Amino acid sequence: MTVTNFSWINGTWFPANDASIGISDLALQRGFGIFDFFRIIDGKPVFLEDHLDRFFRSSRSLGLDPGWERQQLVDIIHHIATRNNLTEGGIKLLLTGGYSADGYTPGKPNLMVTASPMLFERGLGAGLHLMSVEHQRQLPEIKTIDYLMAVHLQPQLKASGADDMLYYSQKGVTECPRANFFMVTADGVVLTPATGILKGVTRKKVLESALPGIPVIEKDFSLVEAMAAAEAFITSTTKPVRPVVAIDGKVIGNGSAGAITRQLNEWLQAKVFTGILYEQD
Amino acid sequence: MTVTNFSWINGTWFPANDASIGISDLALQRGFGIFDFFRIIDGKPVFLEDHLDRFFRSSRSLGLDPGWERQQLVDIIHHIATRNNLTEGGIKLLLTGGYSADGYTPGKPNLMVTASPMLFERGLGAGLHLMSVEHQRQLPEIKTIDYLMAVHLQPQLKASGADDMLYYSQKGVTECPRANFFMVTADGVVLTPATGILKGVTRKKVLESALPGIPVIEKDFSLVEAMAAAEAFITSTTKPVRPVVAIDGKVIGNGSAGAITRQLNEWLQAKVFTGILYEQD
C-alpha cells in the first residue's frame, strides 16, 4: 500500500487512514473542541500568523491548553506540508476537549494536524445564490467545531437550489456557515456585520484593504438591507472573494459580480497568490 | 493487563481503552451526531423502549441511518451488559455523521455502544442550587452531541457555587443542560416547559404519573415564575427526581424538598428500582 498522506496527533505521525482517536474524547462525546484551517499555496502557509493568533485565542476561550508552543506548531505545519508534498492544499489544526473520565469534564486536550491537497479557484468564480436561515451560532467568535445546524440543513439547502446559507438573527445578518458576508451600499460603502460572527482572516484582510475609493466598515445591517444591496460577496479561506448574486431568489444588483467585488477579489487574489505578501516564509 | 470494560463499535468488540474512531468522523470534525443513554439496574435496562424510540427519532431527524435494526440493538445492549458484568450502570449509544471525504458532508454513520459501571443515588438527594443562563439550544428536540455551551460554562458554574445551570430564553424557562425542569404552582399544579427542550424519558414518566391530586401539565413559564414557585425539581436518567432549592440564590419554597417533589420521587424510585415496571425484560 502506498501511503500518500500523513497526519500528526499529539506528537506522533500516522498514515492518514490509521489516524484515530479514543472514543471518550469530548469532541466526539459533547461537541467540545476548536480548530483552525489555512491554505498552502506553492508549499507555503498563507496568512499563517493570523490563523495561529485565532487558534490560540479560540483555545484560550474554551480553556483548552494546546500543549505546544507557537513555534512548535509552525515547525509541525512546515513538516506536515513537506512530508505530504503539499504544494497546494489546506492544513487543519484541531484541538479537542480530550479524554473525559465522566464523559462531561474536559481532560488533557488532543491536538491533531491534518493536510489535504486541494486546488483553489483562481479568479472570481460563479456568483452564489444564498438561502437565508434564522439562526445565531453559539459562541460565534470562537472557532469551535459546532457546525451542527449547517450540516443538518444541507438537504434543505440542496432542495432549495441555493449554493449556501446566510444566517441572520433579530440583530440582522451575521454570516454564512463557513464564510463572512459583505454588502455594498448604493453609495459604494462596503459593510460587514460587526457582531455575532466568527471574525475570518480573509474578512480581516478586506477590512484592512484600504483600496482607493472603497471604504470597508464593520456595521450590522438587516436581511432586508442586504437584499437591497448594490453588490454582495462572501469571503473565506478557500475562496477569498465570491460574488453573491441572489438571496432567497431576490437578485442582488444586476445579478452578476459588481465592480467593487471584482476589485477586492483581484487585490486579494494577488495578495494570496503572488507570494509577495506571505506572512510566513 | 486486565481488561475490565468492553465497547462495541460497528459490530466489533474492543477493550474500552483501545476503542477509537478515525479522525475524519463528522462528530469530531463538525459536532454532528446523536446519542442516547439509559440506566442498567440489577443487570436490566430501564425504560429501554422509550430510549430506543428516542434514539431512532433522533437518528431520523439528523438523517443518520443507524445501520442496525431495533432488535439487533436490543441484543447488543444485553450483550454489552453481560460482557461487562454491568449490574448497575449506564449504557450509551452514540451515532455519528461518519467518515467524511470533504470534512463537511456526512458519510456512513459510525455506531458505538459503551457501558460504564456507576451507582445511582437512592432517595431524594441534596437540594440543588441552579444558576440561570440565557441560552436556547439548537435543535433542542433532537438528542445531539451538542453540549458546547454547558461544558464551556462549567468554570463559571463552579465559580458561582451553584450545582447546575437552568437555561431560559425569551419564551421562558427551558431545561437544564442534562435534565428537565419542573415547577409546582401555589395551587399544587406541576408544570414543565412544553417547547424548546429535549423531551426526557424521565420527564415523560412524570407526565404520565397520574398520582391522585398531583396534576402534571406541559406549559411554558418564565424564569420569574419559576423563582416564585412553591416547589421545583429536575428529572434525568441518572437522578430520577432531584429537588431544586434555589435559583440564582433566590430560595424556592421553604428551601428544602417539597411534598409533591417527595411523592413524585418516591413513585419514580419505585418504578425504576423495584423491577416491577421494567419495560424490557
Please return the burial class of A217, using the count of CB atoms within 10 Å of its CB with bins 0-12, 13-18 and 19+.
exposed
Give contacts of A24 with chain B, Cβ < 8 Å.
19
pLDDT at A141: 98
Give contacts of A32 with chain B, Cβ < 8 Å.
147-148, 151-152
Contact (CB<8Å) B151/A104: yes
Contact (CB<8Å) A112/B23: yes
- Which member of B24, B29, B151 has the closest CB to residue A30? B151
Contact (CB<8Å) A21/B20: yes
Partners of residue A12 on adjacent β-strands? A9
Q: d(Cα B118, Cα B92) in Å, to the nearest integer?
A: 13
Contact (CB<8Å) B104/A149: no
- By C-alpha distance, the chain A residue nearest B139 is A149
Q: State whether ipTM is beyond 0.90.
A: yes
pLDDT at B274: 67
Lowest mean pLDDT among A4-8, A33-37, A53-57: A4-8
Contact (CB<8Å) B21/A28: yes
Task: Reply yes or no on whether the pLDDT at B140 is more than 80.
Answer: yes
Task: Reply yes or no on whether the pLDDT at A230 is more than 70.
Answer: yes
The per-residue DSSP string of chain A comes to -----EEEETTEEEEGGG-EEETTBHHHHH--EEEEEEEEETTEESSHHHHHHHHHHHHHHTT---SS-HHHHHHHHHHHHHHTT-SSEEEEEEEE--B-SSSSS--SPPEEEEEEE-PPPPS--PPEEEEEEE---SSTTS-BS--HHHHHTHHHHHHHT-SEEEEEETTEE-EETTEEEEEE-TTS-EEE--SSS---HHHHHHHT---TT--EEE----HHHHHT-SEEEEE-SSSSEEEEEEETTEEPTTSS--HHHHHHHHHHHHHHHSSTT-S--
pLDDT average, residue stretch B13-28: 95
Task: Reply yes or no on whether the pLDDT at B105 is more than 60.
Answer: yes
The listed range with the strongest mean pLDDT (A57-66, A81-90, A236-245) is: A57-66
Contact (CB<8Å) B94/A29: yes
Beta strand B231-235 pairing with B216-218: unpaired
Contact (CB<8Å) B105/A19: no
Partners of residue B190 on adjacent β-strands? B184, B216
pLDDT band at A274 (very low <50, low <70, confident <90, very high): low
For A106-129, what is each residue's pLDDT tens digit?
Answer: 999 999 999 999 887 788 989 999
Task: Reply yes or no on whether the pLDDT at B92 is more than 80.
Answer: yes
Helices (H), B153-230: 154-160, 201-207, 223-227
- Which member of B23, B104, B145 has the closest CB to residue A19? B23
- Which member of B23, B139, B178 has the closest CB to residue A21? B23
* Cβ–Cβ < 8 Å for A177, A164: yes
pLDDT at A239: 82
Residues contacting residue A140 through CB under 8 Å, at least 6 positions apart:
A174, A175, A196, A197, A198
Contact (CB<8Å) B25/A23: no
Residue B122: how many other CB atoms lie within 10 Å: 9
* Cβ–Cβ < 8 Å for A191, A170: no
pLDDT at B91: 97
Q: d(Cα B223, Cα A139) in Å, to the nearest integer?
A: 23
Closest CA of chain B from A97, distance in Å: 9
- Which member of A22, A103, A147 has the closest CB to residue B20? A22
Partners of residue A25 on adjacent β-strands? A99
Residue with cell 470533504: B102
DSSP state of B17: G
pLDDT: which is higher, A126 or B280: A126
Q: d(Cα A22, Cα A14) in Å, to the nearest integer?
A: 15
pLDDT at B120: 78
* Cβ–Cβ < 8 Å for A254, A231: no
Contact (CB<8Å) A31/B26: no
Contact (CB<8Å) A92/B103: yes
**CA proximity to B258, closest of B271, B240, B239, B245:** B245
- By C-alpha distance, the chain B residue nearest A100 is B151
Contact (CB<8Å) A31/B145: yes
- Best of B8, B17, B28 to substitute, by most chain A Cβ atoms within 10 angstroms, is B28
- Which member of A9, A21, A138 has the closest CB to residue B21? A21
Task: Reply yes or no on whether the pLDDT at A1 is more than 50.
Answer: no
Lowest mean pLDDT among A55-59, A153-157, B117-121: B117-121
* Cβ–Cβ < 8 Å for A202, A236: yes
pLDDT at B207: 98
Domains of chain A: 6-117 (3.30.470.10), 128-273 (3.20.10.10)
- Which member of B22, B138, B139 has the closest CB to residue A19? B22
For B190-242, what is each residue's pLDDT tens digit?
Answer: 999 999 999 999 999 999 999 999 999 999 999 999 999 999 999 999 888 99
**CA proximity to A30, closest of A84, A83, A106, A127:** A106
- By C-alpha distance, the chain A residue nearest B64 is A152
